[in-house]
Amino acid sequence: MDYDDNEGQRKFWNDKPGQSWVTYDGVMNLRLEKITDLLFGAVDGIPASNGLDIGCGTGSTTLKLLELLGEDSKVKGIDISEPMLSKARKKFHDTTSISFIKADAQTFQFLPGYFETVISRFGIMFFDNPVKAFRNIRRAMSPSADLTFVCWASFEKNEFFSLPLEAVASFTGPVKDFEAHAPGPLAFSEIDYVKQVLNSAEFSNIDIKELETSIVTNDTPEEDAEILMNIGFGARALREAELDKSLRSRIYEKFVKNSQDRCLDGLIRYGATINLVKARA
Q: What is the pLDDT of residues 263-275, one digit of tens each?
A: 999 999 999 999 9
Asked if the 4-280 domain carries CATH number 2.60.40.1080, the reply is no
3-state SS assignment for residue 5:
helix
Q: How many helices (H) and strands (E) does the chain have?
A: 12, 8
Average model confidence (pLDDT) across the chain: 92
Is the model's pTM score more than 0.85? yes
Average pLDDT for 88-97: 92
- Of 47-51, 117-121, 183-187, 219-223, the one with minimum mean pLDDT is 47-51
Burial label, 80 (beta-carbon count in 10 A; 0-12, 13-18, 19+)? buried
pLDDT exceeds cutoff 70 at 156: yes
DSSP 104: -
Q: 4 pLDDT band (50/70/90 cuts)?
A: low
pLDDT over 70, % of the chain: 94
Q: What is the pLDDT of residue 63?
A: 96
Q: In terms of DSSP bridges, do strands 267-280 and 263-264 run parallel, antiparallel, or are they unpaired?
A: antiparallel
Q: Which residue has the higher pLDDT, 177 or 29?
A: 29
Q: 1 pLDDT band (50/70/90 cuts)?
A: very low
Question: How far apart (Å, rounded) are the C-alpha atoms in residues 53 and 51?
Answer: 7
Which amino acid would we find at residue 241? A
pLDDT exceeds cutoff 80 at 8: no
Q: Could you give phi then psi for residue 155, rounded to 5 degrees?
A: -55, -45
